[in-house]
A and B are shown apart, each in its own frame.
Chain A
Amino acid sequence: MSERSLQPAHRVKTFLRFLPPSVAAAAAAGIITIVALFIPPFIGIADNGDYYRIAYGNGLYFNAPDYTEQYFGYFVKDYGIFQYFNENAGALASSQSLFIKLSIVLNKMVYSPAVFDIRIQGAVYVLLYVAAIYLLVESLTWSIPKKQGYAIAVIAVFMFADTGYTAYFNSFYGESVVLIMAMLVMASGMLLYRNRYNDYAMLTVFVLSTLLLTTSKQQNAPVGVLAAGLTVLFVFLRKNGMYRLIASLSCLSLAAAGVLTYTLIPKEFVNINQYHAMTRGPLLLTDNPEETLKAFGISKQYAILAGSNYYETYTTISVDSPVLQEDFFNRYGFVSIMGYYISNPDKAVQMLNIAARNAFTIRPMAMGNFERSEHKGFGEQTMFFSGYSLLKMNLSPKTFGFIVIWTVTVIGLYLPSFIAALKKRNRRGMMRLPLLLTMILVGLSGIAVSIIGAGDADLAKHEFLFTVAFDLVTFVVIADLIRKQLWRQERLGGG
């Protein structure tokens, strides 16, 4: 053994050679998330009343006698598994159900046939998330100097191992699927662009993750259509006929998934959201609620509901009342509210500015992160590894104008390399800007759908798709800045 090999610097170098930045980022994010979610005090997110549909629909029930008292305040870890006929089965069609069903199967194998521990689901998500972080960091650090690579890896961990994001894994909110799949979409798109791995494999990852993202929530319907537009570019990456056929079919399937998810919206447009769509939307903004109601064909007496919120403790009428169903909910829907905003652009702008105030909040502030048994305060949130979410929430300019400037800046930064690739007819080189643009549009669609679908209520949670898209795009921009590939048409690999 030589003397040189014993020197610490050399040992670090040797270690780093076998630990590329992508592996380091994935491992660090994995460890931080495991500490947060699986080591006491366990972190998760409290139910805001939304769990019922997805949990009961997948054969789980609330077995805690004091469950409703814990709404908003405390994270609940254990749920009962229906042992007999479940009349709620299939209540909600969502790709999230696939992950819950898989977790229930694993739970029955390793834990209990009667009690579901949500941490099993958390473990499934963590595995997928670690893989997604690996692919994303690999797409940006592959074949670049190690120092730059590690800088990017550190940023990736700082941004994406934040418990504002990862606490969702121990919950029944669809945001877990949205986060993981959006990251896989970006990662696979960037890997295709950089020609890092086999195109067929990456196209498969891209299509599958987009499908799961699109069908995870009704509000994600536009994702399929937008991604289908991007996939048109993928068709021309290779001249191979089989590849082109597969890419074309992928494009069609994504568009179909978007349309199908959209057509499900009217059926699944739940009362809470529909209530907010009007009371926290047009009725909140209008100068004359009675006139606005008249335009929708609703009794002007409902003007009293202007600005009201489903989550108020004491209300005049239950949102599930047949009176509301007959005379209020049946009179408007997604399309008519969208029509209202189109015909009142000033109100749309007002609403976009309200939306922007919450567009940079990763963690919904209304819900607690700890179990009741931890004796923490009602609704108390963890601060463990929350630096990025706190920074983002407190320092971001919260106006829609900032979002516009950010969008224009990103386009401006990547336009030169796009034009250069266009001139050279380098189809792969042209992919980066459309990919980022698609991701931005996906995020903006999240804002648009949430304000049309639920007004300004629950914005921090409803705009999760935007916040994820914003972080992914910003991360790519920062990484490209570090590896000095912002303006340039970079050399692409031959994967």
Chain B
Amino acid sequence: MRRNPITALLLALFVFELLCVPKPKAHAAEAEQASILLVYDRLAAGTAKEGNVEAMLKLLSAMGAGVKLMPVERYEPGLLRNFERLIVVRNSPELKLRNEGFERELASYSGAYLHIGDDPSAVIESGLQLQISALKARVVSLSIGPIRQAELPVRGMQISIAAHYAGEMYGYVEAKELRQPAPFGIKNGRLAAVPYFEAGAAAELAMAYVLKAWLGANVDGQAYALFKEIYPFTDLGALQAAADRLYDLGIPFIYSVRPVFANTDYPAMQRYLELLKYAQSRNGAILVNAPVISPVAGNQEDSLRDKMAGFIDLLAEHRIVPLGIGADMDMYWRNERNFMREGMPFFDSSVLFPGESPVNVTEGESTSFASSMLSLRWRDVEPLLNERWLVEPLPLHLAVTFDFPEDAAGADAVLEALKGGWLSFSDYKTLPHTTKTESHVLKSENGQLMKDGQAVNLNAAVSVVSADYEYREKEKESFKRFFTVQNNIYLVVIGIALLLFSGLFAAGFRLYRRKFKK
């Protein structure tokens, strides 16, 4: 039988259908040992208490404590033995704790124990002689440290208060419906309790006082003015003007600057670096802000560690000393792409910025930093300010954050507010900070910036960066003149040939017509 070769070829095309073998990839993450176990019953999403677990994480992190967070139902027997300190958050006291093993171990737990919310365990009830009752109230005010009668949002229209207690009182809450002030927090030895805790600037600062005492921390906290949302695309003139005005007002400040990982040799980047160097010379401190992690980055295997190290080294080479890292809470707690391990190991100082809405992290483990701060937005802190803030020490270091204003009017408003406020800002450089890469060790010691053991000379002048930059390498050209001449010769030859061809074509066509179209 004869086969058509075309058909045979076409059939052969199907032989191309092949199969291949996959190559799976995997990597694992490890976490460091935390010292505090934070157990909660519910995150209380959608209720007034939503965000209070996150606030605790933020506070503990600001106080330099490593935390392991878990819901009570995930608690495994024996875990408590590994922790010296325990915090229990009860957001839904009407529901029984769903872990009898935990309750049993809690009864015999001998470490430091802080209870937050209603339904305290027998240990707290007996140790603090605590009786909690519910108070229906519309408005409750809180006083502690420099905070005087700050209004607390009672979104649930009801709070829990300590009706009876024994121990030291930390702050107090007042309400029209309450005959006498009730303590915000109580502490007696290793035990402490805060009957009611909602997220918010005043309550978080009050909780910081309780935590300071419970942790035995010996810190006189200071306030720091921190500007974030600073990009290389930010109006550099505005950044410079703000640095000048803050300097003139005697306000030290921190710029949390976005890292750049590409095109760092471009003049635009050099101008950004010049400006940061200038800001540093105007009593400014520089933090590296965490980069944006793309949600749809796919399977790229970029190393954040290499990129961050590259950026820190770039700053160092321009005599800019980054003193820590600023990161959004959610990025830190979700540990996106192993951010803690890959993006933060260079720094011993950090600031975690709160997001617009709670993260509702269910589980995780944080690392502790040698230096951390509680970050609160200026708009949340401003209503709490009064003259006592100038004299009363804070329970922890507080970063008051501002998004760098996009226009001059916004910048003016911020600077005016700072000028007339009741808050005195400290110089971040006076605290010890260390940032290390394989190439450089960057430090601040007693207000002095150090690079590789040498004091950094602060030069208060912005160098002009030349825009004359070769963005792409020029291709090597050989025999350019020869080929130009050759091209011209070819053009002439082709032109003449075309003319000749047109003439011959016309002549041929006339001959054809004369012969066949008579």
A positions within 8 Å CB-CB of B: 48-49, 68, 71-73, 147, 150-151, 154-155, 158, 286-290, 299-308, 310-318, 323-324, 326-328, 366, 375-380, 383-388, 390-391, 482
Contacts and interface: CB of A to CB of B under 8 A. Distances in A.
B483 to A, nearest CB: 18
Contact of B259 (A299, A316, A366, A386): A316
A380 B299 CA distance: 11
B337 interface: yes
The 5 closest A-B pairs by CB, nearest first: A387-B16, A72-B298, A49-B296, A377-B22, A313-B297
Contact of A384 (B17, B296, B337): B17
B307 interface: yes
Given A313-B302, A315-B294, A318-B292, A307 B263 contact: yes
A342 to B, nearest CB: 22
Contacts of B291: 314-316
Interface string B199-219: 000000000000000000000
Contact of A71 (B6, B15, B298): B298
A72 B296 contact: yes
16 contacts: A71-B298, A72-B296, A150-B7, A287-B472, A300-B268, A304-B272, A311-B300, A313-B293, A314-B294, A316-B291, A324-B233, A326-B406, A387-B14, A387-B15, A387-B16, A390-B16
Given A311-B298, A317-B292, A377-B24, A383 B17 contact: yes
B409 interface: no
A391 B10 CA distance: 13
Contact count band on B: 35 or more
Nearest to B260: A316
Contact of A316 (B10, B231, B267, B302): B231
Contact of A387 (B17, B232, B267, B299): B17
A462 to B, nearest CB: 16
A158 B472 CA distance: 44
A266 B167 CA distance: 66
Contacts of B300: 311-313
Given A302-B233, A387-B17, 12 more contacts: A49-B295, A49-B296, A68-B295, A71-B298, A289-B266, A290-B467, A310-B296, A313-B304, A318-B292, A375-B24, A376-B22, A387-B15
Nearest to A298: B233
A231 B460 CA distance: 71
A324 B233 CA distance: 9
Contacts of A286: 471
B11 interface: yes
Contact of A301 (B16, B25, B232, B472): B232
Given A68-B295, A313-B297, A314-B304, A377 B16 contact: no
Nearest to B20: A383
A415 B61 CA distance: 76
B471 A323 contact: no
Given A304-B232, A314-B293, A314-B304, A379 B16 contact: no
B17 A304 contact: no
Nearest to B342: A314
B445 interface: no
B262 A301 contact: no
B19 interface: yes
Contacts of A151: 4, 6-7, 10
